[in-house]
């Protein structure tokens, strides 16, 4: 396929492999995957990056408690994360681990460069440290003497350390938000960050000497780089940037370091860093300041999404540890379990359709099951089984394009629909032809829920079309046969359009629909969702139902019993 649309680089945060991921973590990755697939379908040359953030005191402590080395510990958890993404059909192009040589050597290079630019100095760190969040806080930042992010206890810490001159970048950061408001969205986050900077930025402690599970500071033994400088750098180290000094890779005995500047040249600056709201601060203040110091271009956009909440609080790994269920609310928060019970597409659809980007939302299994039954089983699944069932019954599955409605072949605009077409055909065809544009508009604004809503308008209209045209009545009489053929072709075409539109969101369902419609497995093209009457002849066959209906009460009771 030609990639005339250019490059598109999208990232997720790199996850802490301190424990298995819960459904809240999958939210961001599912959105990033849908966007990456959407852009690929449109012909963009997409780079979709995810990975794991493996250093820091917390991981070291957990590994020690588990009686294994930190490396052994993260290797095990990371293997599980990669398996999860495989099951969820997450189409990342690269998976970066911060323990890889290709990353470590470049982080040291980044440290060196910022030091040489005069933005790193040695000092004494004294302040409050939240171990679970790996965050340092000043007196004023604490909330009721606790970590302002997670509300847990903080400890007093004092040690020699390196500092990054973040304070020197306050004016340039304010100018960035002012001159390029699209750099940070939603607006509420931008306002928060502007206020945060105006309160006064302190220099940032970027090394520690009290633990050793980290990348060594390249200019002094006994210090390791503090996780955020390490972590944020992944977005460029994965692209093979910065270049390593001659022989650096060999000298360090690295085996996984490849000099590949093409990727940096092609994909940087990133089009979007998708991140949760609590780490917007790191991505919109520290990361741009680091890049300014390095003299590298800034990402085009940082987008902060909201949280999935359980019983009003943030979903957390400890709730996962309680056996995959949230307290007293009949909820499953382990994504593996949700997928085993309801399927990947059910989970993806729910995450993308239920929540509004940027806002928090409640997670409940019940809400998910309602969506699955309503939108997936009743609307989409039913449309497919009705269509293929009637095609089989009345025409042995062979449905040809009717000349009366398509005298000149496929239609590319509503204006081209012939006058001879019935009103309900006209309505359905024009809606189908216009849906792709609506989806594009919503996706431009990361409104996954509205994009799906638009597609489901077409699904519902198609079901309504069946009710209006009553194919079973037409079938009773030989005179109705021509019209019956027209009706069944129109429904099949509508399903073909739907199969393309949903592909970025629900990969397996798209494939299943296409199989039942008898369409080949060729690479899909987004443009083909903007024409109606593309298929000359369908050879459809009714297959398994896409989404079996769930007895919600029974299912919730069964979860209770677990
Ligand atoms: N390692 C850092 C990110 C470094 S990026 C250079 C980190 N890791 S994390 O595993 O704690 O969180 C990763 C992402 O998961 C964050 O964006 C966070 O917002 C998201 N989520 C964690 N719990 C979540 C919910 N309950 N709901 C939605 N997203 C959530 O932070």
Label residue 561 exposed, middle or buried (CB < 10 Å: 0-12, 13-18, 19+). Answer: exposed
What's the whole-number average pLDDT of the chain?
93
Å from CA of 492 to ligand 1 middle: 42
Please name the residue whose Cα sits nearest to atom 6 of ligand 1.
232
Pocket test for ligand 1, best of 15, 310, 314, 326 (most atoms within 8 A of CB): 15
Distance CA 298, CA 27 (A): 25
Atom nearest to 28 CA in ligand 1: 29
Please give the backbone phi and psi of residue 560, each rounded to the nearest 5 degrees, phi first. Answer: -55, -40
Decide if pLDDT at 512 tops 70: yes
Q: Which residues line ligand 1 (CB under 6 A)?
A: 13-16, 24-25, 27-28, 53, 231-232, 234, 275-276, 278-279, 307-308, 314-315
Atom nearest to 21 CA in ligand 1: 10
Please name the residue whose Cα sits nearest to atom 13 of ligand 1.
15
Query: Domains (ranges, CATH) in the chain?
Result: 7-328 (3.40.50.620), 347-539 (1.10.730.10)
CA distance from start to end of the chain: 48
Q: Does 502 sit behind a cis peptide bond, omega within 30 degrees of 0 on the bond before it?
A: no
pLDDT at residue 329, rounded to an integer? 56
Angle at 12 between CA 7 and CA 16, to 5 degrees: 150
Question: Is 0.85 topped by the overall pTM?
Answer: yes
Å from CA of 3 to ligand 1 middle: 32
Distance CA 228, CA 36 (A): 25
Decide if pLDDT at 462 tops 90: yes
Considering 131-140, 218-227, 259-268, the range whose residues carry the highest mean pLDDT is 218-227
pLDDT at residue 254, rounded to an integer? 55
pLDDT at residue 418, rounded to an integer? 94
Label residue 49 exposed, middle or buried (CB < 10 Å: 0-12, 13-18, 19+). Answer: buried
Label residue 198 exposed, middle or buried (CB < 10 Å: 0-12, 13-18, 19+). Answer: exposed
Pocket test for ligand 1, best of 132, 147, 279 (most atoms within 8 A of CB): 279
Decide if pLDDT at 260 tops 70: no
Q: From the CB of residue 243, how many other CB atoms can be counted at a distance below 10 Å?
A: 12
Average pLDDT over residues 280-306: 98
pLDDT band for 449, please (50, 70, 90 cuts): very high
Å from CA of 15 to ligand 1 middle: 6
Please name the residue whose Cα sits nearest to atom 22 of ligand 1.
25
Average pLDDT over residues 412-416: 96
pLDDT band for 246, please (50, 70, 90 cuts): low
Label residue 254 exposed, middle or buried (CB < 10 Å: 0-12, 13-18, 19+). Answer: middle
CA neighbor of 540 nearest in space, from 494, 502, 482, 479: 494
pLDDT tens string 316-371: 666 655 554 444 457 889 999 999 999 999 999 999 999 999 999 999 999 999 99
Percent of all residues in the chain with a pLDDT value above 90, rounded to a whole number: 84
Atom nearest to 278 CA in ligand 1: 19
The owner of tokens 């990456």 is 36
Two structure tokens written together for 238:
């994965």
Decide if pLDDT at 255 tops 60: no
pLDDT at residue 326, rounded to an integer? 45
Beta strands at 331-332 and 7-15: parallel, antiparallel or unpaired: unpaired
């Amino acid at each position: 396929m030609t990639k005339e649309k250019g490059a598109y680089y999208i990232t997720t945060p790199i996850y802490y492999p301190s424990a298995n991921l819960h459904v809240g973590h999958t939210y961001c990755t599912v959105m990033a995957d849908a966007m990456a697939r959407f852009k690929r379908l449109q012909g963009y040359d997409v780079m979709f990056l995810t990975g794991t953030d493996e250093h820091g005191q917390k991981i070291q402590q957990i590994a020690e408690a588990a009686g294994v080395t930190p490396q052994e510990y993260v290797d095990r958890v990371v293997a599980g994360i990669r398996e999860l993404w495989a099951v969820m059909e997450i189409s990342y192009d690269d998976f970066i681990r911060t323990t890889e040589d290709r990353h470590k050597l470049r982080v040291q290079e980044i440290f060196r460069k910022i030091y040489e630019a005069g933005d790193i100095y040695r000092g004494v760190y004294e302040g409050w440290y939240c171990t679970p969040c790996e965050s340092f806080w000043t007196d004023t930042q604490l909330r009721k003497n606790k970590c302002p992010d997670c509300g847990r206890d903080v400890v007093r810490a004092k040690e020699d350390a390196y500092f990054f001159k973040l304070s020197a970048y306050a004016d340039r950061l304010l100018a960035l938000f002012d001159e390029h408001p699209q750099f940070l969205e939603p607006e509420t986050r931008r306002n928060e960050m502007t206020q945060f900077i105006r309160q006064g930025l302190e220099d940032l402690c970027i090394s520690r000497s009290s633990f050793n599970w980290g990348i060594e500071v390249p200019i002094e033994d006994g210090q390791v780089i503090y996780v955020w400088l390490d972590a944020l750098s992944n977005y460029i180290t994965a692209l093979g940037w910065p270049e390593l000094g001659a022989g650096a890779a060999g000298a360090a005995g690295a085996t996984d370091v490849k000099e590949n500047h093409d990727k940096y040249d092609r994909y940087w600056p990133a089009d979007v860093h998708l991140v949760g709201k609590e780490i917007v601060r790191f991505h919109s203040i520290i990361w741009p300041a680091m890049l300014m110091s390095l003299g590298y271009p800034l990402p085009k956009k940082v987008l902060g999404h909201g949280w999935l909440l359980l019983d009003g609080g943030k979903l957390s790994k400890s709730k996962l540890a309680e056996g995959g269920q949230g307290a007293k609310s009949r909820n499953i928060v382990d994504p593996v379990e949700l997928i085993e019970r309801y399927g990947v597409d059910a989970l993806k659809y729910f995450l993308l359709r239920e929540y509004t980007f940027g806002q928090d939302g409640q997670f409940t299994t019940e809400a998910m099951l309602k969506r699955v039954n309503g939108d997936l089983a009743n609307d989409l699944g039913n449309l497919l089984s009705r269509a293929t069932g009637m095609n089989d019954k009345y025409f042995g599955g062979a449905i040809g394009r009717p000349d009366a409605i398509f005298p000149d072949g496929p239609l590319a605009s509503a204006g081209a629909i012939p006058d001879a077409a019935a009103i309900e055909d006209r309505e359905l065809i024009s809606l189908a032809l216009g849906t792709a544009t609506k989806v594009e508009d919503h996706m431009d604004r990361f409104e996954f829920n509205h994009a799906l809503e638009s597609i489901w308008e077409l699904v519902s209209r198609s079901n309504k079309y069946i009710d209006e045209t009553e194919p079973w009545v037409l079938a009773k009489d030989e005179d109705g046969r021509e019209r019956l053929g027209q009706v069944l072709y129109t429904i099949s075409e509508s399903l073909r359009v739907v199969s393309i539109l949903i592909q970025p969101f629900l990969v397996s369902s798209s494939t299943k629909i296409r199989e039942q419609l008898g369409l080949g497995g060729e690479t899909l093209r987004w443009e083909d969702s903007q024409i109606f009457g593309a298929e000359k002849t369908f050879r459809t066959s009714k297959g398994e139902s896409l989404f079996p209906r769930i007895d919600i009460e029974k299912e919730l009771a069964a979860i209770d019993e677990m």
